[in-house]
Amino acid sequence: MSKPVFEDLFTFSGRRNRKSYALLMLAFLPLPILTVVVAMVTKTDIGSIVALLILLSWAWFVAVATVQRLNDIGWTGWLGWGLIFLPIGLFLELALLLIPGELGPNEEGPDPLERAI
């Protein structure tokens, strides 16, 4: 069983498995595109503010999901904050889709793939 995609979007603690991470990234992929469209169509200060709010919410959800995914692998979430500003950030995102999480519980919580009996 996989972790529900839209669960724990407001906390950096916990774990997120690969499937849940990939689906969440796909679900939030249109937000940056929507930001550009809103800014281009409105061409006003209010449109710019709305676009900025959309972009900030997108950045928040990506950061939360990345930290949770790093927690699942057994790495520190602070690594995501450091690597997000480097050009290799795209490779980190790809690695997070490929590296399996730790089996069983770790210091961040139970395995999101464990089935409850």
Max CA distance (Å), the chain: 55
Does residue 8 belong to any structural domain of this protein? no
- Look at residue 50 and tell me if it is in a domain: yes
Pick 2 or 108 by higher pLDDT. Answer: 108
- Give tens-digit pLDDT for 30-55: 888 888 887 888 888 888 888 888 88
Q: Please give the Cα distance from 62 to 83 (Å, whole number).
A: 13
Domain span at 59: 18-98
Give the number of domains in the chain. 1
Question: What pLDDT is recorded for position 33?
Answer: 86
In tens, the pLDDT along 9-33 reads: 898 888 999 999 999 999 988 888 8
Domain-embedded: residue 11 = no
Express the helix, strand and coil content of the chain in percent, nearest 5 each: 60, 0, 40
Residue 10 forms part of a structural domain: no
Q: Indicate the DSSP class of residue 85.
A: T
Q: How far is residue 73's CA from residue 80's CA, in Å, rounded to a whole number?
A: 12
pLDDT at residue 115, as a whole number: 61
The single residue listed with the structure tokens 């209010």 is: 46
Residue 106 within a domain: no
Copy the structure tokens of residue 61: 């959800």
**Whole-model pTM?**
0.83
Q: Does the residue 22 lie in any domain?
A: yes
